[in-house]
């Protein structure tokens, strides 16, 4: 056996979760890399069409009984799920950091946001209450009730492998729907672990299923007539595609795309808190989130002092593996992402913007791994609105 083959057999394998069972896929295998080290971390399968069909079929078969299960019983399972997730918090936080590269503190923050979503779903008995009004007109009463749709699909991004799936499936299943989750192929293991814990909490087989893959898998989920609703978080171009494709096939769709956020700094701004807020927004989670500040508009004479303070703050940030206690900023998700960012920095230079702080020249601590996907905070000044980086 070759050395490369022996290494591959030692990698963690990311299972599918179909009809309450962990399964190995018959599809092709891709390698997941640890962003902080560049080392192979796990084997990720791309599901076959038959496996995706099986997941949808399992969700459809589970729907009649699950939708008729009293909402209090559904909530009781979610309460147990919340308890188990909290019990395994250290493991899950570590997995978030390993998959995505977040610092431990960032992973803890996204973990707590995810827990809040489970807690919200536990309130389904109250949240699902209908309403009624007697005699809205002569001899006419009205009643409104909430009923589950059927099989729902969630397609989630790489930047929050734990939190964003929890935006979706706990609420969907609390309301009596069944679910097929397709996490980002870059960070799928957090989703599989959540499915394991939910089934440990007593979820009936088929109510939650997890499949893996890229566009082919997504297209099958978007067009299958058994799927009634789709939820997506990711880039804007893909969000538009998800919305147009799924809605054309008669599905309810929510598709959340990317964002570019502008901060306006007025001349009377308190400098210390302003700088702290901008840097946390811009470079928290390595800038890989929709709430990241990408443009700061400085009004009047505050501009030059602001640039100086932002640069000073950036120079004091420690960029290294997220599991180190002193880390302020971890790696980006992949070598492709790093190359794309470096390309934008080069474009900014060519267009005539001034680099106030160049992340390509970042100084790293002794434990920095040279094969990780690291870049330091980069700050441009004198950026004109017609420049591509703007």
DSSP assignments along 89-110, one per residue: HHHHHHHHHHHH---HHHHHHH
Contact predicate 213/183, CB 8 Å? no
CA angle 252, 255, 256 (to 5 degrees): 150
The pLDDT score that the predictor gives to residue 369 is 87
Helices (H), the chain: 3-10, 49-68, 71-87, 89-100, 104-122, 124-127, 163-174, 189-200, 215-223, 236-248, 271-283, 303-315, 335-351
- Could you give the CA distance from residue 189 to residue 42 in angstroms, rounded to a whole number? 9
Copy the structure tokens of residue 80.
């147990």
The pLDDT score that the predictor gives to residue 7 is 40
Copy the structure tokens of residue 179.
């679910």
Decide which of 3.40.50.300, 1.10.10.10, 3.40.605.10, 3.90.79.10 is the CATH code for 10-127+147-256.
Answer: 3.40.605.10
Catalytic residues: 290
- Could you give the CA distance from residue 345 to residue 349 in angstroms, rounded to a whole number? 6
- Could you give the CA distance from residue 193 to residue 94 in angstroms, rounded to a whole number? 12
Domain ranges of the chain: 10-127+147-256, 261-381
The pLDDT score that the predictor gives to residue 167 is 97
Q: What is the SS3 assignment for 372?
A: coil
The pLDDT score that the predictor gives to residue 259 is 84
Helices then strands, counting H and E runs in the chain, come out as: 13, 16
- Could you give the CA distance from residue 88 to residue 83 in angstroms, rounded to a whole number? 9
CA angle 42, 161, 17 (to 5 degrees): 65
Tell me the CB-side half-sphere exposure of residue 68, using CA atoms within 13 A: 4
For the chain, residues with pLDDT lower than 50 are 1-9
φ/ψ of 143, rounded to 5, equals: -140, 135
H/E segment holding residue 209? strand 208-210
Chain Cα centroid distance, residue 191: 10
- Could you give the CA distance from residue 14 to residue 192 in angstroms, rounded to a whole number? 7
CA distances in angstroms from 93 to 34, 160, 163, 172, listed in the order given: 15, 11, 11, 24
Please say whether the dihedral angle defined by the alpha carbons of residues 153, 106, 8 and 39, taken in this order, is positive or negative.
positive
CA distances in angstroms from 260 to 134, 154, 263, listed in the order given: 48, 24, 10
The pLDDT score that the predictor gives to residue 4 is 36
- Could you give the CA distance from residue 59 to residue 79 in angstroms, rounded to a whole number? 22
- Could you give the CA distance from residue 258 to residue 239 in angstroms, rounded to a whole number? 9
Contact predicate 165/242, CB 8 Å? no
The pLDDT score that the predictor gives to residue 9 is 43
Nearest to residue 165, comparing CAs of 136, 194, 145, 185?
A: 194
DSSP classification of residue 204:
P
Class of domain 261-381: alpha beta
**Rg of the chain (C-alpha set):** 23
The pLDDT score that the predictor gives to residue 6 is 34
- Could you give the CA distance from residue 331 to residue 320 in angstroms, rounded to a whole number? 7
Please say whether the dihedral angle defined by the alpha carbons of residues 212, 216, 219 and 224, taken in this order, is positive or negative.
negative
Nearest to residue 187, comparing CAs of 227, 155, 215?
A: 155
Copy the structure tokens of residue 243.
């919305």
Q: What share of the chain is helix, strand, coil (3-state, %, to 5)?
A: 45, 20, 35
């Amino acid at each position: 056996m070759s050395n490369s083959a022996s290494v591959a057999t030692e990698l963690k394998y990311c299972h599918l979760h179909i009809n309450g069972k962990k399964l190995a896929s018959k599809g092709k295998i891709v390698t997941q890399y640890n962003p902080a080290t560049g080392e192979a971390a796990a084997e990720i399968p791309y599901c076959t069409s038959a496996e995706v069909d099986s997941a949808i079929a399992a969700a459809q078969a589970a729907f009649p009984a699950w939708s008729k299960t009293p909402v209090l019983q559904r909530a009781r399972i979610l309460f147990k799920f919340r308890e188990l997730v909290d019990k395994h918090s250290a493991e899950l936080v570590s997995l978030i950091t390993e998959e995505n590269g977040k610092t431990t503190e960032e992973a803890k923050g996204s973990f707590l946001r995810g827990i809040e979503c489970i807690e919200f779903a536990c309130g389904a008995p109250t949240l699902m209450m209908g309403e009624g009004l007697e005699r809205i007109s002569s001899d006419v009463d009205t009643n409104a009730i909430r009923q589950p749709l059927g099989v729902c699909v969630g397609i989630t991004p790489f930047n929050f492998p734990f939190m964003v799936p929890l935006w979706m499936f706990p609420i969907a299943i609390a309301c009596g729907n069944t679910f097929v989750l397709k996490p980002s192929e870059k960070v799928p293991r957090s989703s599989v672990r959540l499915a394991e814990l939910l089934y440990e909490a007593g979820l009936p087989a088929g109510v939650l299923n997890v499949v893996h893959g890229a566009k082919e898998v997504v297209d099958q989920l978007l067009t299958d007539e058994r799927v009634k609703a789709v939820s997506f978080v990711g880039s804007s171009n893909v969000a538009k595609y998800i919305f147009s494709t799924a809605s054309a096939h008669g599905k309810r769709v929510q598709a959340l795309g990317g964002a570019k956020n502008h901060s306006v700094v007025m001349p009377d701004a308190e400098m210390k808190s302003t700088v702290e807020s901008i840097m946390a927004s811009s470079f928290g989670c390595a800038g890989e989130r929709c709430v990241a500040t990408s443009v700061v508009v400085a009004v009047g004479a505050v501009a030059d002092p602001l640039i100086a303070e932002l640069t000073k703050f950036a120079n004091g940030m420690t960029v290294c593996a997220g599991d180190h206690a002193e880390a302020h900023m971890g790696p980006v998700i992949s070598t492709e992402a790093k190359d794309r960012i470096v390309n934008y920095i080069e474009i900014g230079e060519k267009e005539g913007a001034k680099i106030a702080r160049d992340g390509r020249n970042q100084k790293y601590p002794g434990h920095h791994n040279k094969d990780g996907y690291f870049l330091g905070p980069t700050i441009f000044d004198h950026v004109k609105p017609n420049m591509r980086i703007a």
